[in-house]
Amino acid sequence: MIERIGILGGGQLAQMLAQAAVSFGMGVVVFEREADSPASRLTPHSVVGAWDDVAALERFASLAQLVTLENEFVDAGVLARLESWGLPVFPSSHTLGLIQDKLVQKRRLQQVGLPVAPFRAVDSPAEVRAAAAAHDWPLLLKARRDGYDGRGNATLHGPDTLAAAWERLGGHAGRQLYVEAFVHFEAELALMVARARSGETRCYPVVATEQRNHICHRVLAPALIDPSLACSAAELARSAVEAVGGVGIFGVELFLTQTGILINELAPRPHNSGHYTIEACATSQFENHLRAVLGLPLGSTAMRAPAAVMVNLLGSRSGPFSAGDQPPYSAALSVPGAHLHLYGKRQLRPGRKLGHVTALGATLAEAAAIAEQAAALVDM
């Protein structure tokens, strides 16, 4: 029986995963590149090292009976090495290999007939211009790996912006890039899919995500869309997770367009758009991830209230978390119905995700008012 789970990565997703593991009486061991990560404060067992530090990885492996991850930036080769040592690893190196390179991911989704925006690999600015001839401007220029929250993406409105974007994304230094046709979407949707080792899947409700400066600002659950569209979205998301042989929880980002739904991308882990499930669903995304990778029955993904809204708490400045006596979220705790989650980050940076607030309500408007009111009272 598993008593300790290894987590690759030590940020807030690992933190909330470790928090969920507590209810199963399980401990965790955390592998992170830097010391004092949020999740490392929740266990006597953490290992600090680079992903390719084999001695550190061996130490980590010796402390874990099963391995999972909280981000897709660890190389699939690291997962393959852990698998070669006989450890169960979920999601597997095979799945991660099909996801972490976004071009490979897009190809896989297209290969199984799932709808994605037109895309192509580009090795030079000239190839971007060739893509524009086929798909027209604007185009999205993207790094194939390691992008998040808009980092690693550039919107090209015309040929004038190409040279600067190519350089900013590292194309001149050999970083692998690709382009996608710009999607004129009506809304951005997302949903979480849990897939068990048995192949059983459960979809969470389809939610609407709202971004500001390419960072998720808030999530509205459920999305106010036609039920048949929600059904299609869930079917697409489920098929996408099956197409990569996924085991665990997956965040699936979608575009709603005038002509239907496109899959934007998959995340092979708990996802910001699923944080609302902690309070709003019968089983949180973190608990269902654990159930899935542990080979346990999945839990109900039904909502416990008609509506829920999650608002991210982003850093507004740089500096230490708080110098004062009172934490900077104290006033927000007075808002009835606001559920606060802080990630224990010691340093603020503009735009850094420092926590989130979730509120439930009879309507999205009611939940949004509570969550936004609390978020506005947090000063950090």
Q: Which residues of this chain interact with a second copy, rule CB under 8 A?
A: 1-2, 15-16, 18-19, 22-27, 38, 40-44, 46, 282, 291, 295-297, 299-300, 304, 321-327, 330, 333-334, 336-337, 340-345, 355, 360
Quote the least distance from Cβ 343 to a second copy, whole Å: 6
**Which amino acid, residue 264?**
N
Nearer to a second copy, 98 or 219 (CB): 219
Contact 348, 298 (CB under 8 A): no
Most distant CA pair in the chain, distance? 59
Quote the least distance from Cβ 13 to a second copy, whole Å: 13
Quote the least distance from Cβ 344 to a second copy, whole Å: 3
Nearer to a second copy, 191 or 340 (CB): 340
243/193 Cα distance (integer angstroms): 13
**How far apart, in Å, are the Cα atoms of 140 and each of 89, 99, 113?**
33, 19, 22
Quote the least distance from Cβ 16 to a second copy, whole Å: 8
Q: For strand 187-195 and strand 215-221, is the pairing parallel, antiparallel, or unpaired? A: unpaired
Nearer to a second copy, 133 or 323 (CB): 323
232/1 Cα distance (integer angstroms): 38
Q: Closest Cα to residue 190, out of 106, 283, 254? A: 254
Quote the least distance from Cβ 194 to a second copy, whole Å: 13
Nearer to a second copy, 126 or 302 (CB): 302
Nearer to a second copy, 117 or 354 (CB): 354
Quote the least distance from Cβ 89 to a second copy, whole Å: 17
97/101 Cα distance (integer angstroms): 7
Quote the least distance from Cβ 337 to a second copy, whole Å: 6
Nearer to a second copy, 20 or 223 (CB): 20
Q: Closest Cα to residue 192, out of 293, 80, 34, 301? A: 301
Which H or E run includes 117?
none
Contact 61, 76 (CB under 8 A): no
Nearer to a second copy, 16 or 96 (CB): 16
Nearer to a second copy, 109 or 292 (CB): 292
Quote the least distance from Cβ 328 to a second copy, whole Å: 8
The token pair that represents 121 in the structure block: 């690999």
Which H or E run includes 163?
helix 162-168
204/308 Cα distance (integer angstroms): 13
Residue 147 Ramachandran class (φ > 0 left, ψ -120 to 50 alpha, else beta): beta
